[in-house]
Amino acid sequence: MELADLSSRVVAAIVDGIIVGFITGVLGRFGGAGFGASFVITLVYTWYFLTRQNGQTPGKMLMHIRVVKKDGSPIDDATAIVRYIGYYISCLIVIGVLWAFWDDKKQGWHDKVANTLVVKA
């Protein structure tokens, strides 16, 4: 497995952020999508694509990368949820996401906690 480069991961995250932002914004017009709703929408989005679309969100599809377990097997439900919660915490702390820039396997803390890698598709 060839690891995905960090620039592809950043672009994929931006694309997914735009999509989730749009969904949250549309749903917000019909009843308010506060923090809790936004968290759940992003969790469902991430879970669905990582577990039902071969480890690829639309942003990852665009960049030809995917998330897999360290052994190369597909992501399961629990792993997707743990990875998302870890990603959320990593983003809050900031260094958790930046960790991927100097890690030999390009893993952020969310990848380490979930035992996942981002690889070229």
Instruction: Supply the pLDDT for residue 36.
Output: 72
- Structure token digits, residue 92: 């809050």
Contacts of 119 (CB under 8 A, 6+ apart): 1, 2, 3, 4, 65, 66, 67, 68
Instruction: Supply the pLDDT for residue 119.
Output: 98
Please tell me what DSSP assigns to residue 94: S
C-beta of residue 60 within 8 angstroms of C-beta of residue 115? no
CA atoms in the 13 A half-sphere facing the CB of 28: 14
Contacts of 79 (CB under 8 A, 6+ apart): 50, 69, 114, 115, 116
For the chain, which residues make up each domain, given as ranges?
6-120
Q: What is the pLDDT along the chain (121 residues), one digit of tens a residue?
A: 999 999 999 999 999 999 999 988 887 766 655 667 788 889 999 999 999 999 999 999 999 999 999 999 999 999 999 999 999 999 889 889 899 999 999 999 999 999 999 999 9
Instruction: Supply the pLDDT for residue 38.
Output: 81
Name which of 34, 28, 39, 37 is nearest 91 in CA terms.
Answer: 39
